[in-house]
Structure 1
Amino acid sequence: MPATPSLRHPTRLAAALVTASLLVGGFLAAPTATAAPHTAATTAVRANQVGYLPDGPKRATVVTTATQSLTWQLRDASGAVVASGATVPRGADTPAGQSVQVADFSSYRGSGSGYVLAVDGSASVPFDIRANLYDTLRSDAMAFFYHQRSGIPIDASLVGSAYARPAAHLGVAPNQGDTAVPCQATVCDYTRDVRGGWYDAGDHGKYVVNGGISTWLMVNSFERAKRAGNESALGDSTLRVPERGNGMPDVLDEARWELDFLMRMQVPEGKPYTGMAFHKIHDAAWTGMPLRPDQDPQPRELHRPSTAATLNLAAAAAQCARVYRPYDAAFADRCLSAARRAWTAARANPALYAPDSDSTGGGAYGDTQVTDEFYWAAAELYATTGESGYRDAVTGSSWHTSATAFSAYGFGWADTAALGRLTLATVPNGLPTADRDRVRTSVTAAADGYLSRMAAQGYAVPVPADGYFWGSNGEVANDAIVLATAAELTGEGRYRTGALETMDYLLGRNAIGQSYVSGYGRTASHNQHHRFWAHQLDASLPNPPAGALAGGPDSALQDPVAQEKLTGCAPAACYIDDIGSYSTNEVAVNWNAPLAWLAAYAAERTTTGEPPTGLCAVTYRADSVWSTGFTATVTVKNTGPTAVDGWQLNWAYPGGQRVTSAWNATVTQNGTAVLARDAGWNRAIAPGATASFGVQGTHTGANPSPTAFTLNGNTCT
């Protein structure tokens, strides 16, 4: 289906939308299946429907019009109350269009199955608390890519009989490719063997710009795990791939299937634009639904090379040369050769853009700003080779000092400068210490921005209020990667907390109480837009396999089903689990790749197995109270092992009090939610030290003290 709109233009419609209505039998038609209700929630208590880690954050959101704190109870499978406390009123959550409160039961460290959180007469769906919570999702999210492989039989012994199918697009009738694919008219006068790779989304197209970032994310997941000493979890014979047992880590086997395809897309020597990469390959016209890929009769076409595709190849292949070398030096050499040739070709053709109008039969993936791709590719080549030419390309790029490398919407297939930053921040290289420190600071600054956004919202989502566009769930998962990288760089638990809470959002703690991952949670998406996983259209076909991430809320309502069923929705609620809603419910490799990355990260155990120590303690003391007002002193103590450099403290007033002034901190209030920031001179709190500030405010009736505080996203005692 159509490409995700660029993160630089989150509301831009791809030209493909003109022809992207459901195709049935080759004809444009309205959806024939009965649409599922778009309101999935069956309870006001929205929790992670899979569960929580014993040593991780445990928060749920309660939809309620109550303005006073409510009592929450955590009950085990027998119904016994194992923990209780008071919710924190948050007031209006604008993206969700709801009034909410938050229950924080992070202090509970038990484990088991069948827990429910009960608040004000409502109870969450049952969930688990256990250390191995994400082990299965790690495997399933990775298996998505094997399901999406082109050019190989999908083996029932690995995926089950419902998902098995013959090899597709190998030139065996009724297929017409991909072993000798011609170009579109005027593009080239030869054919290319471009078999293999992953089908990009719910259709049968393969796109280099989406494949490049997706491959990078999968390989980066292994590279990060290896730095953390946890590579064995993604090692040989850990995943469901046919290459298991070959001595290569399974995640690298899977990524290699796409890397081989990406290198086949490179223009050969002696041809015009040699070294460039063809932008994409897909059917000449949109295929019907449902349609298994091996039954696709459409002719296939190569689309003209683009600078963006070429730089994706250069970046992914350079990363390959670095990460694969200990396991297959010959393949690493082949990757590096392809990366160098792609870089040279892109430098010679720096403005060969894929047009947005090229959207017949597949998404356009247009992108007219490629300086960020140049930066990303240079960073990967420099990290791999250490050569001065690539270093100069890095340091000479405007992105190297730009504050917008991490945009307000994170990163994505059209915004890749952040990927270069992540590599330069984590992979040993020869940048001067001050320069490397600045790069690392940019990562933590971006992560701090996401934490601030999460702290200001009832559902703890890192995206802005206008960030619910096509593929918003992929954006959430990408932001989690930045948070997790900041945790690696600093060792600060608040970043890990933030990364894990994004998983809560994807698995049910959201505006509609929907788990967006198939097979995970009581109300999980299971009608994602796909041509073979199409049970909603044909009962003989399967629903998507477990571990497939739906695109998520899209407030632009860019398909007929969304327009019919979701008109008037709040941005964070603009989602429907219907196969016809391709703008909210499609799957794509660039959304499942960060999900797989995040699942692997969340599945890692701590080295000791012990819960982390508390990082902060807060004392709130009412100094003076009169009939309509009060003053109070708030003292924050750093109980963690490292200094706090820049702090923000969040709480909510249970009695609806209003802050009118403050000293020694900058204090703002939204509804009952209060945010206090350091005053600059007191931004640093050493381990064991404290910072105090005062507030003055008004109240009506009682003046109860707040009982729950978070410091930089960490729950305080």
Structure 2
Amino acid sequence: MRKISLFTCFLIFCGISLLFLAFKPKNEQSWIRINLLGYQPKAIKVAVWASKGNNVPKNFELVDKKTGKTVYSSNKIQVFGAYGPFKTSARLNFSEFKIPGNYYLKAEGATSPEIIINENVYKNTADFALRYMRQQRCGYNPFLKDSCHTHDGFVVYGKEGGIKDSTHFDAVGGWHDASDYLQYSTTTANATYHLLMAYRDFPKAFSDTKLATGLDGKNGMADVLDEAKWGLDWLMKMHPQPNIMFNQLADDRDHSTMRIPKEDSQYGKGFERPLYFIDGKPQQRGKFMNDTKGTSSTAAKFASAFALASELYKDESYAIDLATKANTAYQYAIKKKGVTQTASVKSPYIYAEDNWVDDMELALAKTGKITGYGTKSLDSAYYYAMQEQVTPWLIADTAKHYQWYPFINLGHYELAKQSSGDRKRELIDYYKQGITHVWNRAKNNAFYRGVPFVWCSNNLTVAFAMQCMWYKQLSGDGTFSELEQANFDWIFGCNPWGTSMVYGLPSWEDTPTDPHSAFTHLGKYPIDGGLVDGPVYTSIYKGLIGIQLTKPDAYAEFQSDLAVYHDDYGDYSTNEPTMDGTASLVYLLAAYDSKTAKDLSSYKKEQGAIIRGDVKEKQLAIVFTGDEYADGAQKIISALDKEKIKASFFLTGNFYRNSSFSSFIKSAKAKGHYLGAHSDQHLLYADWKKRDSLLVSKKQFNDDLAANYTAMAKFGISKKAANYFLPPYEWYNQAIANWTEDLGLKLINFTPGTRSTADYTYPEMGKSYRTSDEIYQSIVELEKKQGLNGFILLLHVGTDPRRKDKFYDKLPELLKHLKQNNYKAVTVNQLLGN
């Protein structure tokens, strides 16, 4: 073989290096972050472009993976500044693209991972996350096909319950809390409740492939109910008698070694572990004292879980037992009102829960029938709801470990579903207030990140996505839909590190591989479905005890002074999976798997009125209001007929009763246009300068609107068929929205941004006057700049004779323009889903 000199090798190396440099990507310091799991076709779809350079993309392309062809391009880019490790960032919105397939995004030299768009991208994911719950089972573990901790446990602090310390109680079962083998009643009860909710709300998201033991097989029960029962049966052991309840099993002496679960002997009583009795007082083992003040937080969680379970299990005797436990657990919750915290011996780290009224609210919302309190129970629940309207972490940007547990006020949701009128609106508004606090932080960065980077930040992220989802469900307001989606996307890779935070999900992309878990570290077992803690503030990370990375940091270039995340066994703060966080994720995944096209709609509200429809759909509603004038009626109908477009007409009682307008009304109804109410006498509801100041009473409002519908009835238009109401002068406030809802109607208003509503003005009005050209250009320019998806575009049927420049004369031109730009004009009920 011919020898090559060292000098020749050097030249070859240099040549290869130069060639490599010549073909380096244009922007190797830029990345595109996506939801690695995928997107449903009609869902909000936003990727985040982030760079360590200064350039920002002006447009982006969606490329078909199979053909290599660009299938969608857009300049809808929302540019942001620095965030974390990045100098510049931007949101790339491709929600308009709805064709299923496999793609990737390209922008400013960066290419995204594979993007999957498919209706079934989340199918079976909730069941996948259940794998981790089964792996966490204590007692018999179906994953290991072996048993552990079969001697539990012995009582400590039992004096208040008349129990001698060291007395044995059977406490075998339940789930290990995280990568250690402690077991907490508060996290178990919360996890159980989430699993039960998931089945109650989304039963079709779950299958039956496991026996009650967790082994393969079918038993006629959804696997999620099998798993919830594993938690419930342990909770029953932790509340064996009406006057006995335990808060935790084992303590941080567990942390002495990392091991596959087995029998533990480090507690000084053979293989038994300590059972901490709930006495409502501070408890100290070693040098650390917790801040327990009562029995409510844990006991109320017991009551809620038992009560919900009693509604779901078909076994009548088991359901009766659950109801009995729910009642005694509630009585234990009111034994000494206050919070119960966990206990620690060797380290200062505990579950420092500080709130308990939210737990009482939930318990009362669920146990009314069981306790016999009936509707009084709901009144009491509402009392507690007012004590903590907004979960405190939503307002703050930091918190102690599990300080505001369980991160979301479940009671608001359960109570709101059973309430109506002002009470329901208030509960919904509590959710909105909390979301708004987070949004005010989130709107300033491209990831829409407003959740604080405290320990277990992923648990908070999942809980917050649930709160956004529930707010939308309860209110019909989709204002925060993109914020909700951003938090869901964050969990699955749309974050600075570009990784999913769920082990093995999806299997084809970057997910945790070296979590702080004995299963993976010692046994090399996968912990499928486990949600890891998530990133923490760098300041928190640097202050933690005993953290030391075991290998070079794979995400080093994405760490920053803001937050860190490590896929490293040595980091117990960001990469340790948790049982209760995973249970919450089960609920969220089941919800997303069960989403329908209607659920994915994104409505916007202002002062309680819907002001915009689904921004993901390229459709809009053209609405006309009328009171005393109808000079444009025939021209409007003719223009709509020519383009085969349906519109909506909101008319006053004055208009409906005017015999001169009868033929137009009959014609519009016959042609399939929507006819609605606009008040009877065209009243002004609120002061122009002080919007909160009402100018009418509720009785005046109700009587006037009733007269409007009476006038409509003569044309065969029922209240049921015309349940959308557009207020006179397009001026209203939250009280008017509430009164409208009380009548079973839905308040709507025009979408702001154009000058269309000024088509009624005339020259004598001075500066308020707008020509038809000005109005037309305002619509065209907004469409070009932002799009009119979901728009409610308001015009008038007629105008004052002093206006000679009639905008309805430009309606044919406007309709053609909208059609040329692929907008579908629909009626308001079609735009808003019914």
Distance 2:790 2:247 in 1: 42
Partner of 1:471: 456
- How does the TM-score come out when normalised to structure 1? 0.70
Partner of 2:249: 281
Partner of 2:583: 593
Cα 1:439–1:710 shift into 2, 3 Å: farther
Paired residues for 1:35-54 under 5 Å: 44-54=31-41
Deviation at 1:82, TM superposition (A): 1.1
Distance 1:600 1:153 in 2: 24
Distance 1:293 1:362 in 2: 24
Partner of 2:485: 500
Cα 1:618–1:602 shift into 2, 3 Å: closer
Residue 509 (structure 2) pairs with residue 520 (structure 1): no
SS state of the match for residue 147, structure 2? coil
Deviation at 1:528, TM superposition (A): 1.4
Among 200, 204, 209, the residue aligned to 1:232? 204
SS state of the match for residue 61, structure 2? strand
SS state of the match for residue 320, structure 2? helix
Partner of 2:449: 461
Among 496, 517, 542, the residue aligned to 2:524? 542
Distance 2:145 2:257 in 1: 17
Paired residues for 1:83-482 under 5 Å: 83-86=72-75, 88-94=77-83, 98-113=87-102, 115-155=103-143, 164-170=144-150, 177-178=151-152, 180-183=153-156, 188-225=165-202, 231-234=203-206, 236-237=208-209, 241-242=214-215, 245-266=218-239, 268=241, 274-275=243-244, 277-282=245-250, 285-294=253-262, 296-299=264-267, 300-305=273-278, 307=280, 311-326=297-312, 327-351=314-338, 353-354=340-341, 358-360=344-346, 364-382=350-368, 387=374, 390-397=377-384, 399-400=385-386, 402-405=388-391, 407-408=393-394, 414-416=404-406, 418-426=409-417, 428=418, 431=419, 433-451=421-439, 453-463=441-451, 467-482=452-467
Cα 1:578–1:640 shift into 2, 3 Å: farther
Deviation at 1:713, TM superposition (A): 14
Deviation at 1:242, TM superposition (A): 3.9
Partner of 2:520: 533
Deviation at 1:136, TM superposition (A): 3.5
Q: RMSD over aligned Cα, in angstroms?
A: 4.1
Distance 2:333 2:234 in 1: 19
Contact 2:101/2:118 (8 A) holds in 1: yes
Contact 1:96/1:570 (8 A) holds in 2: yes
Cα 1:74–1:692 shift into 2, 3 Å: closer
Aligned AA for 1:506?
A: I
Deviation at 1:220, TM superposition (A): 1.7
Deviation at 1:517, TM superposition (A): 1.3
Contact 1:56/1:106 (8 A) holds in 2: yes
Deviation at 1:133, TM superposition (A): 0.7
Deviation at 1:101, TM superposition (A): 1.1
Contact 1:91/1:101 (8 A) holds in 2: yes
Partner of 2:291: none
Among 596, 607, 625, the residue aligned to 1:606? 596
Cα 1:109–1:396 shift into 2, 3 Å: closer
Contact 1:480/1:499 (8 A) holds in 2: yes
Aligned AA for 1:91?
A: F
SS state of the match for residue 587, structure 2? helix
Cα 1:239–1:595 shift into 2, 3 Å: farther
Identity of aligned residues (%): 21
Paired residues for 1:18-37 under 5 Å: none
What do residues 534-593 of structure 1 show as CA deviations (whole Å, max 9, x unaligned)? 1xxx4xx22542321111111110254369978995366411111111111111122112
Deviation at 1:512, TM superposition (A): 1.8
The structure whose residues are more often strand, as a share, is 1
Aligned AA for 1:499?
A: E
SS state of the match for residue 302, structure 1? strand
Distance 1:206 1:640 in 2: 61
Distance 1:43 1:384 in 2: 58
The structure whose residues are more often helix, as a share, is 2
Contact 2:341/2:351 (8 A) holds in 1: yes
Among 568, 572, 589, the residue aligned to 1:578? 568
Contact 1:69/1:87 (8 A) holds in 2: no
SS state of the match for residue 144, structure 1? helix
Deviation at 1:478, TM superposition (A): 0.2
Contact 1:74/1:118 (8 A) holds in 2: yes
Distance 1:238 1:80 in 2: 44
Deviates more, 1:546-555 or 1:609-618: 609-618
Cα 1:367–1:508 shift into 2, 3 Å: closer
Cα 1:215–1:268 shift into 2, 3 Å: same
Distance 1:396 1:499 in 2: 29
Deviation at 1:489, TM superposition (A): 1.5
Distance 1:413 1:116 in 2: 41
Distance 1:283 1:150 in 2: 15
Partner of 2:46: 59
- How does the TM-score come out when normalised to structure 2? 0.61
Contact 2:40/2:121 (8 A) holds in 1: yes
- Greater relative contact order, per chain length (Cα 8 Å cut-off, separation 6+): 1
SS state of the match for residue 365, structure 2? helix
Contact 1:553/1:571 (8 A) holds in 2: no
Aligned AA for 1:590?
A: D
SS state of the match for residue 73, structure 1? strand
Contact 1:484/1:496 (8 A) holds in 2: yes
Deviation at 1:444, TM superposition (A): 4.0
Q: Which has the larger radius of gyration?
A: 2
Partner of 1:486: 471
Contact 2:549/2:570 (8 A) holds in 1: no
Contact 1:61/1:509 (8 A) holds in 2: yes
Distance 1:143 1:256 in 2: 15
Cα 1:515–1:588 shift into 2, 3 Å: same
SS state of the match for residue 135, structure 1? coil
Deviation at 1:710, TM superposition (A): 10
Distance 1:190 1:443 in 2: 45
Aligned AA for 2:98?
A: R
What do residues 184-232 of structure 1 show as CA deviations (whole Å, max 9, x unaligned)? 797734111011101000101100111122112221222222xxxxx22
Distance 2:72 2:248 in 1: 54
Distance 2:279 2:211 in 1: 34
Distance 1:640 1:235 in 2: 45
SS state of the match for residue 409, structure 2? helix
What do residues 445-490 of structure 1 show as CA deviations (whole Å, max 9, x unaligned)? 4345545554432012341xxx101000110100011111123223
Cα 1:686–1:394 shift into 2, 3 Å: closer
Cα 1:577–1:75 shift into 2, 3 Å: same
Distance 2:98 2:557 in 1: 43
Equivalences, count: 575
Deviation at 1:238, TM superposition (A): 8.2
